[in-house]
Amino acid sequence: MIRIDNLVKTFGSANAVDDISFSVPEGAFLVLVGPSGCGKSTMLRMLAGLEQPSGGQVQFGDKVVSDGQKGWTIDPAQRDTGLVFQSYALWPHMTVAGNVDWPLKVAGLGKPERQARVTEVLKMLGIEALSARYPNEISGGQQQRVAIARMIAPRPSILLFDEPLSNLDAKLRVEMRTELLRVHRATGATSVYVTHDQVEAMTMASHVAVLNHGKVEQFGTPEELVQNPATAFVATFVGTPPANLVPISALPPARAAEFPPGASAMYRPEDLSVSATPVEGSLAFDFAEASPVAGRTMLTGTQGALRITAVVDAAPRFAVGDKVHLVLPAAPAALFAENGERLS
């Protein structure tokens, strides 16, 4: 449904999006995830038609909608897409029903058809009782539902979300993730969702593109990214908690000798164990913190700039600064070169 070929967006001398290519099938829920400044929002704006590519193509179905080489892009209103911004961007002088009705009116639908569709989508989002209120009379979560209702009212084939949950509190974000997935399934549309929160990415996506410095570090399913990270960046960015990356210079000398110079070994938090005293295969860290996670304990220690986390069934009680010994498994889960590429 969406195909991106060698997409580039340049601002001055910098490539915000740097030669990206991938495609997703109809009905997919694609999440673009990465740290601030990685290019994910710029990519979404090019999909929406709000930015023209400097190079490459964007294709929806069998239709090219942007071509950077030829220097043209189809107008946003002609792309059959809907967009929800981080700020919701509701019209304050219109009621909830008026906000949802507006894009239908612009599309030229008759009043009876518009009224029926507005009622339908407000009911789908559970906000039909708010139809006569104005945006300043409802909560942030309700405003988000109005923005989504307005987006889906014209029945676009592609839904675009630009960090739509970042202004909500933690509990409401969890509830709205479920709501967005329900809307995605109900509409049958292909969705593209931008976030810097990898938890959102891994819980919502059918496909994930992990971006860093304008490039795709890895593209795949959430399971593929967690089980087989292609780069050191992906290994330490995805997962809850993410994997530990330990420079071989920090390993016991006997183990370090097994690996190439400059490499880093990946250890999953659930594969580590904890000891209050030194044991064979352990590394000494300064205890930093511990927290309960789903009936287990997530414990973190530091060693200079190195931070490592273990998830264990039980752990001795430590005070901040105590020495905690984290026991590594016999072999790492993966090995990465100094440049971040995966070796094994």
The mean pLDDT value for 280-301 works out to 92
Q: What was the pLDDT predicted at 344?
A: 87
> Any residues with CB less than 8 A from the CB of 75 and at least 6 apart, and which?
49
Residue 95 has pLDDT above 90, yes or no: yes
pLDDT at 166: 85
The per-residue pLDDT for range 39-82, each reduced to its tens digit, is: 999 999 999 999 999 999 999 999 999 999 999 999 998 999 99
Q: Which two tokens stand for residue 232?
A: 């050191």
Predicted confidence at residue 280, as pLDDT, reads 85
Cα atoms found within 13 Å of the Cα of residue 303, Cβ hemisphere only = 18
For residue 207, what is the enclosing H or E element? Answer: strand 207-212
Answer whether 114's CB lies under 8 Å from 149's CB: no
Percent of residues, the chain, with pLDDT higher than 90: 85
Mean pLDDT of 280-297: 92
pTM of the model: 0.91
Q: Across all residues in the chain, what is the average pLDDT?
A: 94
pLDDT given for residue 168 in this prediction: 84
Q: Is the dihedral of CA 79, 84, 86, 89 positive or negative?
A: positive
Q: Could you give all domains of the chain from N- to C-terminal order, each with its CATH number? A: 2-236 (3.40.50.300), 241-336 (2.40.50.140)
Q: Residue 154 class from Cβ within 10 Å (0-12 exposed, 13-18 middle, 19+ buried)?
A: middle
Residue 27: Cβ within 10 Å count: 15
For residue 241, say if its preceding peptide bond is cis, omega within 30 degrees of 0: yes
| pLDDT over threshold 90, residue 294 | no
